[in-house]
Amino acid sequence: MPAESATAIPRPPARTAAPSAPVLTGAQAVVRSLELLGVTDVFGLPGGAILPVYDPLMDTSEIRHILVRHEQGAGHAAEGYASASGRVGVAIATSGPGATNLVTAIADAYMDSVPVVAITGQVFSNLMGTDAFQEADIVGITMPITKHSFLVKRAEDIPGAIAAAFEIAATGRPGPVLVDITKDAQQAEAPFQWPPRIDLPGYRPVTKAHGKQIQAAAQLIAQAKKPVLYVGGGVIRARAAAELRSLAEATGAPVVTTLMARGAFPDSHPQHLGMPGMHGTVPAVLALQESDLLIALGSRFDDRVTGKAALFAPDAQVVHVDIDPAEIGKIRAADVPIVGDLKEVLPDLEAAFRAAIAEATPDIAQWWSFLDGLRDEFPLGYAPTTDGLLAPQYVIQRIGELTGPEGVYAAGVGQHQMWAAQFIKYERPNAWLNSGGAGTMGYSVPAAMGAKVAEPDRVVWAIDGDGCFQMTNQELATCAINNIPIKVAIINNSSLGMVRQWQTLFYDGRYSHTDLNTGHDTIRIPDFVKLAEAYGCLAIRVERAEDVDAAIQTALETNDRPVVIDFVVSADAMVWPMVPQGVSNSYIQYARDHSPAFEREM
């Protein structure tokens, strides 16, 4: 089922009188609560403090538990599951190191607004605070990186805590929630009451925007000569892609989609200028910089988009729409702040705009003439390699072209992430998964695994670097054993590519500790083909451009096991364009006007 039509987690049914509540252990209550919430898949790894939950998990026929090889993999898999489907992802771990191994994935989900519920075991409540075996204050550890963290010490409180966790994770600005349950609470018995009463004082996400703010925003859009729709990942989380397209076509304004918003607006649409930011397209970067009105939709003015914030879009007024009021005004003051759910706000804004232009249609032809000139002058491209090795951009472009827009693409972090964002064409939301805010190496393989579990009928690619791949490749064993046939493309430049690029540009080519020795010499450590075969995968190495398509086609035709392709690419390839960190986005304009090499670098 296409992700845009996926439904949110079902709410508990209305309370009805029951003759008597069944008595369950806390552990049984965990499993039964998940069943009643519609959960069908969880990712986890057992240990002593969570072991009571694993016993009834063996009996359920409604929930598929996927045994990961590392808890970080469970967390990223839950993220991939949620990001591809729109449903809440679930990860389970034991206490101590099991729980702390989830922290990176929880932080990642928090930064990128991914709805995940992490359920962890905790030591017996009478041992808490004594430095008991495998004790860690995971509630305290995760407090800054979750929407909320629950500590449950009584069996009767388990259904309410889990139901509340799902409610918090899936509503408002989505995000991760932790439920930490002591072992004695799991072992004790209590009447199982469902649906539980969810009492969340102070948690009241605003979804409907104020009418006066909508009217004010519509007036600004109607009067703007150089408007831009600055679209962030909030549009995807709100399932508001259709509403965005309708508003864009009504206003005629150019659209830019951030790294987290790729696919929120079709790349093929004539109003789409591409991705803005440090590695954005020239038209997208300069559209923001030269605009007189930014309509920021579910975007947070991240530093990788704005460059030096004080110099970002200096002549632009700002309409900022976000469901999280904390984001509005955090980086850039908003002339019209609108708090609300984009799925509800965008139709209201479109209606108000149409009313505002009933007597005079805005003329932005001159603005489009400028932008179309940039598109003609600076199409996205890349230079051929000079060392005889593959161009990574070509490899990634062919993966996208041969797979098509219905595929799912989960990227690691680094150069390959940027190339995947640039050179694959995204036509639908939830097709592009990546670690945007946290920049977590190791995200790709387990996230692709989770996405494939959520969307089994789609082709799912993990586009990874040789550095990222070595952090979580053990989850290939999970994929092979559980019949999760993801495709993995290792963009193997034998180095930590993005760090190496910065060393080339800003450190005089002093490549301090970035050579990974994975692909360019006769000794490959590790040999990714042998490694993948050891994990039960079909493994292919590609070193010539003429072999790229055949390898991709083989991967697309193989669905009985995971496929790993080791693409040996040039270490000298760079991600262009590039706005250096800490400078104004006007740097692009300066480079365009003053650098003879700029066009070649494009």
Q: How far apart are CA 235 and CA 346, in angstroms?
A: 10
**DSSP SS3 for 172:** coil
Please report where in the chains the tokens 């292919």 appear, as a residue: 540
Structure tokens at 96: 């101590």
Q: How far apart are CA 357 and CA 227, in angstroms?
A: 15
**Catalytic residue status for 343:** no
Q: Are strands 408-411 and 432-433 parallel, antiparallel or unpaired?
A: parallel
Angle between helices 548-557 and 392-403 (to 10 degrees): 40
Instruction: From the candidates 28, 71, 72, 150, give the one annotated as an active-site residue.
Output: 71
Verify whether residue 498 is a known catalytic residue.
yes
441 has catalytic annotation: no
133 catalytic? Reply is: yes
Q: How far apart are CA 447 and CA 410, in angstroms?
A: 7
DSSP E strand boundaries for 176-323:
176-182, 189-191, 227-231, 255-257, 272-274, 293-297, 317-322
- Say which of 260, 418, 471, 498 is annotated catalytic: 498
How distant, in Å, are the alpha carbons of 270, 275, 318, 372, 495 from that of 422?
17, 8, 26, 19, 21
Is residue 412 within 8 A of residue 468, CB to CB? The reply is yes
Question: Which amino acid would we find at residue 227?
Answer: P
Choosing from 133, 366, 377, 581, which is the catalytic residue? 133
Q: Which residues does 127 contact at the CB level (< 8 Å), separation at least 6?
A: 135
The number of angstroms, rounded, from the C-alpha of 304 to the middle of its chain's C-alpha atoms is 16
Angle between helices 282-290 and 365-377 (to 10 degrees): 150
Q: Select which of 4, 128, 134, 598 is catalytic.
A: 134
Q: Is residue 510 packed enough to be buried (19+ CB in 10 Å), middle (13-18) or exposed (0-12)?
A: exposed
Catalytic residues: 71, 133-134, 183, 498
